[in-house]
Structure formats: C-alpha cells, structure tokens
Amino acid sequence: MSGEDHDGQTGLSLALKQRAYQEGFDPVGIARLPGSERLQLRTAALQRWLERGFGADMTWMATERRRNPALLLEGTTSLLAVGLNYHVADQQKPGSLKIARYGWGRDYHRVIDQRLRRIGRWLSEQRPDCRWRACVDSAPLLDKAWAEEAGLGWIGKHSNVINSQRGSWMLIGHLLTTEPLVADAPARSLCGRCSACIDACPTTAIREPFVVDSNRCLAYHTIENRESQLPEAIRSALGPWIAGCDICQDVCPWNHRNLPVSEEPELQPKAWMLDLKRDDLLQWDDATWDERLRGSALRRIKPWMWRRNATAAEPDQAPTL
C-alpha cells in the first residue's frame, strides 16, 4: 500500500469509527484478518471447549464459520467492532425474581443490527465497491475474541469482555468489510490475580479462568435448556434468577467503579421486569407472554420455561430493617 493509499485508509478508518460513535456505540475499534497470535489462540481454545463438552447441546457453536470470518463474507479483510453500554440506572426491587440486565430493554440484536446497517450504508457511500455484513452475537463469529482484537476490552475470567472505563455491561456487534482498514491495537488483559467471578459462581460453572461450562451455568439452563425440569444441582443454586444470570458480572471489581449510565431509550427496562413476583408469573398465559416479551431478546424463553424457572426459583429477599 502506497503512502497516499495508507493515508486514505487511515482517514476512512477514523471516519468510520466516528460514524459508529454517532450511532451511540462506545467503545469502537478495528481489527484486520486473520488477527494476531492471541486471536488464533482464542480460536484453538474454542475447539478445546467444544471437545470437553462445555457447549452442552448448543451444537451451533461448532460451525466452521465461527473460526473464520472470511466464510461469512467472501473477501473480508477487516472488521469494525462496536460496544453498546447497557448499564442503566434502574435496579430490580428486593423480593422480586431476577432477569439478566441485557434482557431488560428492546432486543439488542435488532438495536445493534439496525445501527450497524446504517454504518454499512455510509461505508458504501464512501467506497461503492466494498462489501460489508453486519453481525451480532447470533451470527457464527467469535465476537468476544474479535472485540478484544479490535481493542474494545479484554475477555475476563468469566468470559465476558471488560472495558476499563465501562466495565462488562457492554453489548457487542461487528461490521465485516472487504475494505482494508487500519487496525487498532488489541486490548491487554487486566484481570490479574482476581478470582471474584470464579469464587462467586454458585454452580462452579467457571471451571478455570476463561472457561465456562454451560452444563453448570444458570444462564444456559434458564434460557437454552428445553427439558421440562431443571437439573437438581441447578434448581438448588438458582436463587432468584429466572432469565439469565449476572452474578459473575455483579462481583467483578471493574463493575464497581463509577461507570457511565446509559440513557438510551431502547435499553431502558420494562417496569414489570424490575418487580416480577412468582405468583404473577405462574399465572401468565401465552397471550400475556406475547405481550410482555414482544420485541425482547428474552422471547427465546417460552412461556412454559418461564413457569418452570419461576417454580424452581427463590425470590430475592428484601433487606431486614
């Protein structure tokens, strides 16, 4: 690439990131394929994770496209990685059943995808010959590893991406492109010797740093498990969690800082999610479920699963005076 061409790509890369900021994303970063040596190590770690059976019955995790973004978009050379802060001011009320924060607002897949597509259309205006593809975590992409590669943050021992200024309350998306962009430096891990997330997991699902066994994970069982009854080990450890689990993020020291609060209207919680009682949930019929979960990422949890989870859960206790 000539100096003039490089300057042009540098300018485009900076403008592309600025366009992402305008869509409400922060942080943003760029990575180049095939990625650094650490990205290759993350890819190999996925294969070991699958071989150990830690993916449970999530067979889609084994697709070859997850290991090679070029299979998602022919000619891919670069990707834009974006983070969307979902740390809101609201808290769930004591005595309520708990829902993971990422599911409080509108379906983040739709929110991120729509914004990435607007960025992609902007890129096409700048470079009419380039091609692009928007990806959220439903796409077969090692999204966390590529976010780390693009400098958004490092993968913590709980397997979530942590940003030093925003903690781990961050939704991730990527825009693959054939345009050769200028890469940012990969993020450096700052977990150190901390084991707070490992120690706090009630089912020891974090088998070792960075390795989560889905077979033991409350989030997996409340969202993905389609059996009529939860395993006894999960039932006994469920506590108030009925849709996902935030324990490993709640205890992370990087989330105990003065984090920026999102005021994005699409990410604000529905009122019922903050004060959900077991008796109310057990009375849900399909129409109630349809009304309450319309446009929600938690629609993946079917009505009978909500009732199954609520039956096993123990509502969070209100503090004593």
> Which positions are annotated as active-site residues?
137
Torsion angle of C-alpha atoms 208, 211, 213, 218, degrees rounded to 10: 90
In angstroms, the Cα distances linking 198 to 158, 194, 232, 308 are 7, 9, 21, 27
Backbone dihedral angles phi then psi of residue 157, each to the nearest 5 degrees: -65, -15
- d(C-alpha 283, C-alpha 276), whole Å: 12
With beta carbons less than 8 A apart as the criterion, state whether 206 and 197 touch.
yes
Neighbours of 111 (CB within 10 A): 23
Q: How far apart are CA 144 and CA 141, in angstroms?
A: 9
Instruction: With beta carbons less than 8 A apart as the criterion, state whether 221 and 231 touch.
Output: yes
Q: How far is CA 270 from CA 36, 195, 230, 285, in A?
A: 41, 33, 27, 19
The secondary structure of the chain in percent helix, strand, coil, rounded to multiples of 5, reads 40, 15, 45
List b or e across 242-256, with b for residues whose CB sees 16 or more CB atoms inside 10 angstroms: bbbbbbbbebbebbe
